Amino acid sequence: MVLRAPSSSPLFVAELHLPEGVSGTAFTQRVLPQPHETLCFWGRQHQTQKGRFDLWAGLLLLTGLFANISSAEVSSVALVGDIPVFTLDPANWSIHFHWPWVRQAAAEGDGEKIMSQYKIGLRNMIRFVHETAQQTKQHYPLVVQFRAGCVLYPNETRHAFLNAGWGGRDLMAFEVDKQRWEARQTSQVAELVSKSINRQKSVGVLLDYAPLGLSPPLCSHSPELPVATVFAHTPSLDQLLLVCHVTGFYPRPISVAWLRDGQEVPPGPALNTSTILPNADLTYQLRSVLAVVPHDGHSYVCRVRHQSLGTRSLLIPWGRCHPWECGAGLLLLVATASAGGFWWWKHR
């Protein structure tokens, strides 16, 4: 998910693919199958006290484009981390699952019931938007958006949110403590919409069965410990490739480095680290490869640092033990790091 924030504005901005006449600050999420289908959304920066961006645990975005009083096109996408989970086809409201295991999970759970209620909510939303536009004398085309999900902070606390936008601006937000919608602008539209949704169950069904119904699963992804292995390839007699493969970790940020005689190997031609790739279970993996000369007399260790390990590091040595001894050492290191990480997160 690529977002860019200009220094002159607190809003994310990007190219906006909307009908002629629609304006507003927004950002785009290009996750739909066809290149011309771009889901547009407005949003503000979220930063921690240390100035770092928050980690998105889960996000559901919905955009409705209303070209005229008889037209409406709705697009929606759900993400966990930066991985698209499913999208809503604006042509027929069918669900496209991006991963086979997501389809299986939906079939085994209440996915069909939730999606059925979701579509009922979409119809109610479309009718409600047209009625609101007529009552408040709004001009077409119109853009209505919903954003729901969960923010996972570095200290492992979570914050669920549910916001609505109109024409690229904040319209209202659901206050969890009050269990009601509150207007986010002083306008006739904001006042009318917030009062109506708080009062009318038929209008709120979209919000009951979609963002609020999907937010808890999106918020439930806890940090996962990395599992690391070290092995070697010998492409030639004078070269040895040491490979450190790290997988199963969440969230995405991670540090993997090679230590030569206890000192970190700096970036260079001999060091090649892959990009971080997603696994099917929403965890991540990567590998770091270091080219060395066989029997050079140095000791090599792969060091892994990750949020789930707390203040500890996972250290996997190469060349100082027999394979079965290294395996036992790896298990011991993982167990030690796991226990330390668990204690640290519980007592921080």
In the predicted structure, residue 231 carries a pLDDT above the cut 50: yes
pLDDT in tens, 255-296: 999 999 999 999 999 999 999 988 877 788 999 999 999 988
Q: Quick one: pLDDT at residue 68? A: 92
Domain boundaries, the chain: 27-219, 227-347
Pick the residue with more confidence: 78 or 219? 78
In the predicted structure, residue 305 carries a pLDDT above the cut 70: yes
129: nearest Cα among 173, 180, 176, 74: 74
What number does CATH give the domain 27-219?
A: 3.30.500.10
Q: Quick one: pLDDT at residue 52? A: 35
Rounded CA separation 234/243 (Å)? 11
Q: Quick one: pLDDT at residue 60? A: 84
Rounded CA separation 172/305 (Å)? 40
The β-bridge partners of 175 are 180
pLDDT in tens, 61-118: 899 999 999 889 999 888 876 778 889 889 888 888 887 777 776 776 666 777 777 7
Average pLDDT over residues 182-190: 88
Q: Quick one: pLDDT at residue 155? A: 65
Sequence-separated (6 or more) residues with CB below 8 Å from residue 214? 58, 60, 78, 114, 148
Query: Which fold, 227-347?
Result: Immunoglobulin-like (2.60.40)
Rounded CA separation 148/160 (Å)? 8
**Average pLDDT, whole number, for the chain?**
71
Sequence-separated (6 or more) residues with CB below 8 Å from residue 181? 164, 172, 173, 174, 175, 193, 194, 197, 198
Distance (Å) of CA 81 to CA 154, 185, 281, 283: 14, 30, 12, 9
pLDDT band at 154 (very low <50, low <70, confident <90, very high): low
Q: Quick one: pLDDT at residue 104? A: 72
